[in-house]
Amino acid sequence: MKNLYELLRPNIKATLEINSLKYDSAKRLSYKLMANNIWSDLTVSDVSDLCSYSDLYTYQLTPHDIMYGDKFLSKDE
């Protein structure tokens, strides 16, 4: 089973990797994504941080995106 970091969309993962080099909090978020396999294990704060570090704005998200990660996760798996 893949972890959440592996399931991220390529553009979001690339932006998060760039920000992980600059910010320790982005690096911690990457590790948290690597440690979890289920989107619902993340907090709202984690999702907000993911928006910040992947250059998404929260107004672009629907409640469904926040609850199930549709805007962040690839649909391959």
1-59: per-residue pLDDT in tens?
899 999 999 999 999 999 999 999 999 999 999 999 999 999 999 999 999 999 888 88
Q: pTM above 0.85?
A: yes
For the cut 60, the answer to whether the pLDDT of residue 64 exceeds it is: yes
Q: Tell whether 23 is covered by a domain.
A: yes
Sign of the Cα pseudo-torsion (20, 29, 77, 11, in order): negative
Which are the contacts of 52, defined by CB distance < 8 A and separation ≥ 6?
none
**pLDDT score, position 66:** 92
CB 7 within 8 A of CB 73: yes
Beta pairing partners, 73: 8
Domain that holds residue 46: 4-68
Confidence bin at 75 (pLDDT 50/70/90)? confident
Is 74 among the domain residues? no
Is position 37 within any domain?
yes
Domain presence at residue 63 = yes
Q: Answer yes or no: is 14 within a domain.
A: yes
Domain count, the chain: 1
Flag whether 73 is in a domain: no
The structure tokens 């760039």 sit at 18
CB atoms within 10 A of CB 37: 13
pLDDT value at position 58?
Answer: 85
